[in-house]
Amino acid sequence: MIQPGEPVKRGQSVAAIETNKGILELEIFEDAVFDQLLTEVGTELAVGTVLATYHTASAEGNASATAPNEPIVNTPKKPVAAKVAPAAQSTGASERIKISPLARRRAEELGITLDQLVGTGAEGAITLHDVEHTTSPSTAPEVQQKPVVSPTDMRASIAAAMARSKRDIPHYYLSTTINFAPAENWLAHRNAQCSIKERLVYGVLLVKAVAKALEQFPEFNGKWIDDQYHAEKNINVGVAVSLREGGLVAPALHSVNEQEWATLMPAFLDLINRARAHRLRHSEFMDATITVTSLGEQGVESVFPIIYPPQVAIIGFGSVVERPWVVEGKLEARRVITASLAADHRVSDGHR
């Protein structure tokens, strides 16, 4: 994304890294000028590989520095530094075939050899679109008849994180049903007075409610690292987002308890859109201090989620449904929602 000699500002995205969780934007942490790129776009790299050198704007001479390590944790594969993400493969001669990792895997699944493909990407790179639009009728039945389906990189990464969570974290669960009518009425009244762009959705209301609750119960806002609990000052709520092609990510909304609706709602929608477009930032993957997941849109009434390590708690919400509710000795129909807490017994006990 950045070329040699180009100045950059602190917090600016300087590269796109393709991993099994999507394409991450790599940020720089100080004002600088780039000197030299040390790797080609599309090269498969190990974590910790030096990508480029730069010097700060105030330095008298060039000071080399390495780009930060690849930001994803708990991922079983090495990352790929790429915007188009082609990876070179030797053909036995001096010619190199450039193909993205996703395209290579798809070609293997379809039984298509690389010499059958014509790349339409940058510098002739073979893309996933090229593979899936290559006619190979003889191999299609074989794909459909495979009795065993290997997990995708995304599914393997989720499996590794959740297996670690269940293995290492002593979960306990608390669940309660909440009268949602007051919140629903407040939301309807507020939205009626706002423009369409300013209206709130249920999801952002739940995220805000969790953040405000954590101000009273700070033991759920932190991380368990190296056999110690690290309390976090900022309340950064991870929002579980299902991806259209399958899989799940939970990027962070920062300082949710301090944000007003005018900034929180646009940030919430932007985060979800970028998550589904695989354009999340490093900090959004790493900074969540608690996660909120909701399956209400799928009609699920209660959720008992698994903690995402190193966090120590996660909140699950079901759908808003109408149920019998006793009010001053009388039975009435009320709109209710079920909230479930999964927490780490090493940090809290659930008695407070």
SS3 of the chain: CCCCCCEECCCCEEEEEEECCEEEEEECCCCEEEEEECCCCCCECCCCCCCEEEEECCCCCCCCCCCCCCCCCCCCCCCEECCCCCEEEECCCCCEEEECHHHHHHHHHHCCCHHHCCCCCHHHCECHHHHHCCCCCCCHHHHHHCCCCCCCHHHHHHHHHHHHHHHHCCEEEEEEEEECHHHHHHHHHHHHCCCHHHCCCHHHHHHHHHHHHHHHCHHHCEEEECCEEEECCCCCEEECEECCCCCEECCEECCHHHCCHHHHHHHHHHHHHHHHCCEEEHHHHHCCCEEEEECHHHCCCCCCCCCCCCECEEEEECCCEEEEEEECCEEEEEEEEEEEEEEECCCCCCCC
Low-confidence ranges of the chain (pLDDT < 70): 1-2, 18-24, 57-96, 122-123, 135-149
68-96: pLDDT as tens digits: 444 433 434 444 444 433 433 444 433 56
Dihedral class, residue 302 (left if φ above 0, else alpha if ψ from -120 to 50, else beta): beta
% of the chain with per-residue pLDDT over 90: 47
CATH placement of domain 155-344? 3.30.559.10
Give the per-residue pLDDT at 337. 97
Return the structure tokens found at 156.
Answer: 């393997």
Quote the CA–CA distance of 31 and 55 in Å, as a whole number.
9
Pairing of strands 248-249, 252-253: unpaired
Note the pLDDT of residue 78. Answer: 43
Place of tokens 């129909």: 333
Position 34 scores a pLDDT of 78
Alpha-carbon distance of 18 to 81, in angstroms, equals 6
pLDDT at residue number 318 = 96
Q: List the chain domain ranges.
A: 7-81, 87-150, 155-344
Fold topology of 87-150: Dihydrolipoamide Transferase (4.10.320)
Q: Tens digits of per-residue pLDDT, 147-205?
A: 666 777 888 888 899 999 999 999 999 999 999 999 999 999 999 999 988 999 999 99
| Predicted pLDDT at 76 | 40
pLDDT at 240: 96
